Amino acid sequence: MRCVFAAVLAAAVVATSSFSQAADVYQYDLVHSSVSFKARFLDISWIHGRFNDVSGSFSLDRKDPAKSTFQLTINVDSVDTANEKRDEHLRQPDYFDTKQFPTIEFQSTKVKAVAGGYEVTGDFTMHGVTKEITFPFMGGEEVEKMGAKRVGFATELRLKRSDFNFDPQAIGNIGDEAVIIIDCAGEKK
């Protein structure tokens, strides 16, 4: 009787662990990732910058990709355009207003597998405005290196700042459209 009970318990443990492994959860790897952006300057050149403080997680369900989720949080105060005075101006209410809107966030609501990655739809919140966006998130192949399982994804988003309630006066010299480039790795230890 005791053996039967132990066998049932072991089967339950195995079943539970295999169920929990159905979706692999990876944490955003800050060291091997970057969220950068570029915007037109006077319509003659591009200004480049990046956010240095980003966190997030990806939950990948290989069997049922629709159950996968992607979440990303960007600390806007960490904006870095290699010019401290410009960065300070970008943090102010004329631009990002980081004391009022300290983070840029993305939370997926729908995920679909496509060739070479996923098509992700979700809520993108910036400057206090949430909009649904859809973008291809290419990658997702898992490798096991340096003591962790790793996946990588990449995409480019083209967003209009005017859609996110940015001050129209702050749109002029710096173009309305901003390109956000996400190259990120996730790790599962």
Partner 1 sequence: MIRLLAAAIAVLVVAAAGLVAMGLAFGNAVLLLPKVPPSSGMDRFLLIVWPAACLVEVGSAVVCRRWPSRSVSSVEVLLRLVASWLLGAGLLWGSVHLRGEVDWLLLGLWCVAATVVWQVLPRERAQRGVGAAIAIALIATGTLMVVGGWLKGGLTSLPLALSVGLLGWRLQDVTHRGVVIGCGTAAMVGLVSLGQFFGRVSVLQGAVLAASLVTATLLLARRSPATRGEAA
Question: Which residues contribute to the site for partner 1 (CB under 8 A)?
Answer: 85, 88-89, 91-94, 97-100, 102, 128, 165, 167-169
| Minimum CB distance to partner 1 smaller for 39 or for 76 | 76
- Sequence letter at residue 147: G
| Minimum CB distance to partner 1 smaller for 131 or for 158 | 131
| Minimum CB distance to partner 1 smaller for 35 or for 170 | 170
CB of 71 to partner 1, least distance (A): 21
CB of 52 to partner 1, least distance (A): 18
Query: What is the per-residue DSSP string for 155-167?
Result: EEEEEEGGGGT--
Cβ-Cβ contacts under 8 Å for 84 (sequence gap 6 or more): none
Paired tokens of 137: 């998130």
CB of 56 to partner 1, least distance (A): 20
| Minimum CB distance to partner 1 smaller for 151 or for 170 | 170
102 touches 76 (CB < 8 A): yes
CB of 39 to partner 1, least distance (A): 17
CA 87 – CA 150 distance, rounded (Å): 32
CB of 73 to partner 1, least distance (A): 14
The CA–CA distances, whole Å, from 93 to 11, 51, 88, 111, 137 equal: 58, 18, 10, 34, 31
| Minimum CB distance to partner 1 smaller for 17 or for 100 | 100
Neighbour count for residue 90 (Cβ, 10 Å): 21
